[in-house]
Amino acid sequence: MRNRRLMLLMAVALVFLLAGSAFAKVKLTFWNGFTGPDRPVVEALVAQFNEENPDIEIEMDIMPWDTFMQKLLPSYIVGQGPDIAGLGAELLPRLVDAGVLAPIDDVFTETNLTREMLAPFAVDAATYKGHLYGTPMSNYALLMYYNIDHFTAAGLAPEAPTNWDEWLEAAIKLSNPPQQYGFVMPTKQAPAVWHLLMWSNGGGILGDNGEVLIDSAESKEAVKFWADAVLKHEISPIGLTGPETDKVFQTGKASMHIVGPWMTTGFTEAGLNYDVAPIPEGPVTRATVGGVTSMAISKQAGEDPVKRQAVYRFLEFWNSEEAQIKWALGANFPPNRIDIADNPEILAHPWVPKFTAGLAYARGHLVGTPHASEIESDIYDTAIEYILLGRKSVDDALNEAGQKLRDLLK
Amino acid sequence: MFIGKIRRKRQPIARYNQQIAYLFLFPSLAVFIVFIIYPIGFSLWSTFTNWNLIQSAKYVGWANYIRLCNDERFWNAVYNTIVYTIGVVPVGTALSLLLAVALNQNIKGTKFFRTVIFLPVVASTAIIAIVWTFLFDPQIGLFGYYLSKIGITMGAWLREPDRAMLAIIIVSIWKNVGFNMVIFLAGLQGIPYSLYEAARVDGANRLQMFRYITLPQLRPTTVFVVVMSVLSSFQVFDQIYVMTRGGPLYRTETLVQYIYHHGFTTFQMSYGATVAMFLLVVILALTILQLRLFDRPVD
């Protein structure tokens, strides 16, 4: 008899236990591509959130960005996508058109976040067809990295150039191929260095209203200027991908390099004596590429009020003052919160204030079009590759690119 | 009468046996249908639609196939695949045969060399491709470093449109030669020693023995190696994806690369599937052709 009562008690306890864990905990899946030195910072913040919110559990899956992008849309189509996706804002339009994301226009009324406290450019990049689809996970600007030792050895003042003429002159002076290249430039699969050069001369790939600019006189002039520098003065090796350019700079074989804040850790660990500086001003303007990783909610999670509430709590946490200071100091990224830029800890950081300053003249690369990845790989990269490999003139390559772009957007 | 009686008796047993057979076949048959037949059927259906993961699929008739005929980049991929196959199969087969013959002797150290040559086969292609990319890199790679020590500058093979495919072919041969060598070694073990003894009595030299005994006796092995190599060459993907992504200037973009591009960059699933159907038909035709050509008994 006693045994039976005990068993009953245990069974009841078990039921409660199971029910408790099943009902109280909202499980959220979260995918992103922060595989670099920033990974531990992301992991620490997610762990902190899980600890502070016992009723929510975020299961995070970090994978390389290219795997992530190839997996995300197909996963959503078969209903297996993550509740929260931390993805490049340029990918949002395609996913929105596919109907797999939920708009979050009410995030500023449902949470403590306000539009004003976030980097405006990061919020704009996540806005498509009049709706907001994400709050920023990270934002950055590309800046100029330069090797101070190379500058000193070449008899130059250890300061980055400030305009194109100075830039080209320094690049030529610093080049001694194949031992050393003045300014390592990517050819493909890289941050959009050539795009920012087009912008600096008043050109670009697509204008604000979707007009094709890649074959404009301004774009051609900019590309000619730098392609000549590569082909005639050998200021850069040819055919490199983004990671390859990073390695060239990291091994002390290049004097100048344009890349984002994520490389600071690697370059410092490699023992390079370097600094970062603003992108030199172009003939028309100063421009750089700004990147935004947005946190978007899947349509499934967005339609489930419990999950939606849980996701909003996480978005709020991620862009809280405390989390953003941790993020900035740990990952060397500018904080998403513009209202904490003058936090003393952030101001004292060697890199963060410089990258924050870069955001002032940053623009989004191929944001707001559902064809971003095709334009990137089949039009922009291809044109630059034809030019740098000497197989097509700048005029021919960019005219073709313009034609392809118009066909694609039709 | 007698025969009829037996038949009548046996039929139910035969049927029963058949049912049992199907029962045993069921698991693998189910896997085959779910993972092979259904996807192929689904792909075939999608080639007649404009399925792109964004809009719901609409029937478009033969539009994808017509686009295929006029698609320069597709024909470029066909050309590259053929170049790759011609580069890999004859050299790779000959090399693995030579290695097999060389290592089929009772000399010290053969086991060591067999292991060394077989090692790349069991290593992951993706990892091997990363290592070779590093070796080929002119700025930070090992080949470039050592060659520059003796005053030779090595170009950037993987970044030059005219040499990238050659680099990929070299890596592929290196990767697969061990597998083919082992197959040839097995073939060599199967040749009766008496044939060689008889030839020696008749005064044949080693070259003649190779030409008139080894080669003909190895015919079935060679057929197997060539067929498998051609099939795998037409489906090459990993090393190209890691080493060049089909570049520079699409010069290493093969058919599977192109299928992948449509599947996972532009998400034009139906067009990617159309290219895949083309590949399926070509591989099927090649296999039948090769089996017909080589399917003669050993003399």
What is the secondary structure of A76-134 as a DSSP string? HHTT---SEEEEEGGGHHHHHHTT-EE--TTHHHHSS--GGGB-HHHHHHTEETTEE--
Q: Give the closest of B248, B261, B265 to A385, CB-based.
A: B248
Residue B150 counted as domain residue? yes
Residue B244 counted as domain residue? yes
Q: What is the pLDDT of residues A70-91, one digit of tens each?
A: 889 889 988 899 999 999 999 9
Residue B60 counted as domain residue? no
Q: Contact A253/A181 with Cβ under 8 angstroms? A: yes
Domains of chain A in start order, with CATH, are 26-140+291-364 (3.40.190.10), 143-289+366-409 (3.40.190.10)
Phi, psi of A288 (to 5 degrees): -145, 165
Task: Tell me if A188 and B140 make a contact (CB, 8 A cut-off).
Answer: no
Number of structural domains chain B divides into: 1
Residue B85 counted as domain residue? yes
- Name every residue whose Cβ is closer than 8 Å to that of residue B163 and which is 6 or more positions away in sequence: B155, B157
Q: Of B105, B93, B97, nearest to B214 (Cα)? A: B97
Residue B9 counted as domain residue? no
Residue B20 counted as domain residue? no
Q: Contact A161/A323 with Cβ under 8 angstroms? A: no
Q: Of A401, A262, A236, A246, nearest to A331 (Cα)? A: A262
Task: Tell me if B54 and A389 make a contact (CB, 8 A cut-off).
Answer: no
Q: Of B145, B141, B123, B125, nearest to B133 (Cα)? A: B141
The DSSP secondary-structure symbol of A324 reads H
What are the beta bridge partners of residue A256? A146, A183
Q: What CATH number is associated with residue B249?
A: 1.10.3720.10
Q: What was the pLDDT predicted at A408? A: 92
Q: What was the pLDDT predicted at B148? A: 79
Q: Please determine, for residue A12, whether its predicted confidence score (pLDDT) is greater than 70.
A: no
Q: What was the pLDDT predicted at A14? A: 61
Chosen for mutation from A63, A70, A366 (greatest number of chain B CBs closer than 10 Å) is A70
**Would you call B70 an interface residue with chain A, using a CB distance cutoff of 8 Å?**
no
Phi, psi of A138 (to 5 degrees): -150, 160
Give the residues of chain B that fall short of pLDDT 70: 1-12, 295-299
Q: What is the pLDDT of residues A225-237, one digit of tens each?
A: 999 999 999 999 9
Q: Please determine, for residue A9, whether its predicted confidence score (pLDDT) is greater than 80.
A: no
| Distance, CA of B76 to CA of B64 (rounded, Å) | 17
Instruction: Compute, in degrees rounded to 10, the torsion defined by CA atoms B78, B80, B85, B86.
Output: 110
Q: What was the pLDDT predicted at A3? A: 66
Q: Give the closest of A98, A244, A377 to B54, CB-based.
A: A98
* Beta strand spans in A162-287 (E): 181-184, 254-259, 274-277
**Would you call A176 an interface residue with chain B, using a CB distance cutoff of 8 Å?**
no
Domain that holds residue B176: 69-294
Mean pLDDT value across chain A: 92
Q: What was the pLDDT predicted at B21? A: 87
Mean pLDDT across A375-381: 93
Q: How far is B144 from chain A (nearest CA, A)?
A: 11
Q: What was the pLDDT predicted at A183? A: 97
